[in-house]
Structure 1
């Protein structure tokens, strides 16, 4: 990058129940402030963005650089081990902004004051019915952005392993909120004693071709797609 930038203001244009539309004002930082004054050029630029209103960070702390990175949500990369076989636990649900069904990682908003580990285990149970314990968590990522050209929303990825042979996971039961309609999808990642198997990405494509009915397409979330692409590339050709 040629320049360093700083935010000089953030204004709320409209606020709704879950989202607010804002306008950020920013400018390049120059060591030659005199040339800026002499030319009379205003270098301030504008950018429209969306924020979540559910976050714990108030909008006032986002007005000027440095801005705190706020983690709004958690995404769960959950592996299920059952009878010697390994699966990736995914969910499919209708997303109104796309007017289509999206195949994605289980995910959800972090409640105020909630630890990211607790949020991950809670959302996994609610959306998929599977139970995991704190000791089943393998890794927690640093904050990662979701769509930085449109929103400042960030999340953390929690990777964990679910014991599918545990009594509590033999017949998992979702705990969905009113209005939620989520389908649990298990993608095989390798079958015991079977060499000729699909890659994870091909298994997802097979699911889409099999499940696509009615008016809606099934779109794969971009984060999930690249994860599956990486898994597929790691397998021997």
Structure 2
């Protein structure tokens, strides 16, 4: 069974049917009708989807993990760890960062370290000198749902024997088919562009991060050209 599992790819999955679902069948999400008053005082309504999985006493649903693979002895520079995973709602394999729901009594940083190890096998640490190591609470699609995420920045020391190829021990759940791979940070935009051309869907968190890096490069160049 293990050999067979190792040959399976997220691209082998496909949607076979789509049909309406009764609310009492939903395990993970529910629909809500929201009544509210707009700034003029007029009564209005809004349709919203809500997760049913948020942990008790938590204000955050999930974490996304920005995992940077770093080997100071390598000439290739730091890389970002990404994943390929089939997502039925878009009927495509998406390019994502490792991510997962926060467990009961767990803080986002702890959830990020746990999820990374479970999905990829990598052992990571959160850099103490990074201002944005634990990001804002970000609302994924506030016009549609109340789902939110915290992006956690972690470093993976590739000189640690536990992070060497052959020593990684992912602990994926039944039904999870995830391929992990890395892209050099200095070529992230170009490689994502090629992946999109190849038919992959780019997750908004990954795409926004890559675009932000390109914006930062441009404006750094502009600032560097200012007269001193």
Q: Normalising TM by the smaller chain, what interval?
A: 0.7 to 0.9
Q: How does 1:83-232 map to 2 (within 5 A)?
A: 83-84=73-74, 85-134=77-126, 138=130, 139-171=133-165, 172-190=168-186, 199-208=187-196, 212=198, 217-232=199-214
Larger radius of gyration: 1
Runs of 4+ in 1 over 4 A off after TM superposition: 134-137
Unaligned stretches of 5+ residues in structure 1: 1-12, 31-35, 37-42, 59-68, 191-198
- Change in CA separation of 1:143 and 1:93 when aligned onto 2, cut-off 3 Å: same
Question: How far 1:28 sits from its partner (Å)?
Answer: 2.9
Conserved? CA contact 2:83–2:178, under 8 Å: yes
Conserved? CA contact 2:31–2:50, under 8 Å: yes
Deviations 1:11-53 (A, max 9, x none): xx935211111111111356xxxxx7xxxxxx22111111111
Which structure: greater helix fraction? 2
Of structures 1 and 2, the one scoring higher in RCO (CA 8 A, sep 6+) is 2
Question: How far 1:117 sits from its partner (Å)?
Answer: 1.2
What is the aligned residue count? 190
Does 2:10 align with 1:14? no
Question: How far 1:78 sits from its partner (Å)?
Answer: 1.0
Which of residues 73, 79, 83 is equivalent to 2:62?
Answer: 73
- When the two structures are superposed, what TM-score results if normalisation uses the length of structure 1? 0.72
Question: How far 1:229 sits from its partner (Å)?
Answer: 1.6
Deviations 1:64-119 (A, max 9, x none): xxxxx931000111111023321001111000101100001111111111111110
Question: Any idea what SS the aligned residue of 1:157 has?
Answer: strand
Question: Any idea what SS the aligned residue of 2:213 has?
Answer: helix
Conserved? CA contact 1:136–1:160, under 8 Å: no
- When the two structures are superposed, what TM-score results if normalisation uses the length of structure 2? 0.75
Q: How does 1:38-57 map to 2 (within 5 A)?
A: 43-56=42-55
